[in-house]
Amino acid sequence: MAVKMRLQRHGSKKRPFYFIVVADARAPRDGKFIQKLGTYNPLTVPATIQLDRQKALEWLNKGAQPTDTVRRILSFKGVLYLKHLLRGVKLGLFDDAAAMTKFQEWHNSHEAQITRRNDAHKKAERSKRVYTPVAKKVETTTEEAAPESQTEA
């Protein structure tokens, strides 16, 4: 059975909200699923993602294929990097402790980067909200004497 990790749409018209689910590839988009892994709300700024990292990693190791969007979400949350590190452990390149140390370093730097990005966004929002009065335009009327064209034949 082909298993996919994909988004299942909920929410009203023009207000999407998604569940990240594991489902049979033949099942309809919003139909039957095997397990719910988390949620994704693209309407918030920044988008809100809640994901059970362990469940997602288990399903990836079992062979579930993520769709493009779910692959981006898993990459953003570090699940694909963790899978990569655990493969290195399995091949004997380093041990579990080293893999978890590398992941924690990446996770801390990633969270710091997200915090900086959110702060910059909030700062930009605040600068947009500042009311700056527009100077009134004072129209000065200058009467220009239009040259009369006299054409004599």
For the stretch 97-112, pLDDT in tens is: 999 999 999 999 999 9
Same domain, 56 and 94: no
Q: What is the pTM of this model?
A: 0.77
Instruction: Calculate the CA 14 to chain-centre distance.
Output: 17
- How do 65-66 and 3-10 pair as beta strands? parallel
Total tally of structural domains belonging to the chain: 2
Residues 6+ apart with CB under 8 A from 91: none
**Would the pLDDT of 153 be above 60?**
no
Q: What is the mean pLDDT of residues 114-140?
A: 77
**Would the pLDDT of 145 be above 60?**
no
**65 occurs within a structural domain:** yes
**Would the pLDDT of 144 be above 90?**
no
**41 occurs within a structural domain:** yes
**133 occurs within a structural domain:** no
How many whole angstroms separate alpha carbon 43 and alpha carbon 8? 15
pLDDT given for residue 147 in this prediction: 58
Residue 59, Cβ neighbours under 10 Å: how many?
Answer: 21
pLDDT given for residue 122 in this prediction: 85
For the stretch 35-93, pLDDT in tens is 999 999 999 888 999 999 999 999 999 999 999 999 999 999 999 999 999 999 999 99
Same domain, 56 and 84: no
For the stretch 17-33, pLDDT in tens is 999 999 999 988 888 89
Same domain, 86 and 59: no
Residues of the chain with pLDDT > 90, as a percent, come to: 67
DSSP secondary structure string, 62-128? HTPEEPHHHHHHHHHHTHHHHHHHHHHHHTTSS-HHHHHHHHHHHHHHHHHHHHHHHHHHHHHHHHH
116, 87 contact by CB (below 8 A): no
Domain membership of residue 87 as a residue range? 78-126
**122 occurs within a structural domain:** yes
The one-letter code for the residue type at 75 is S
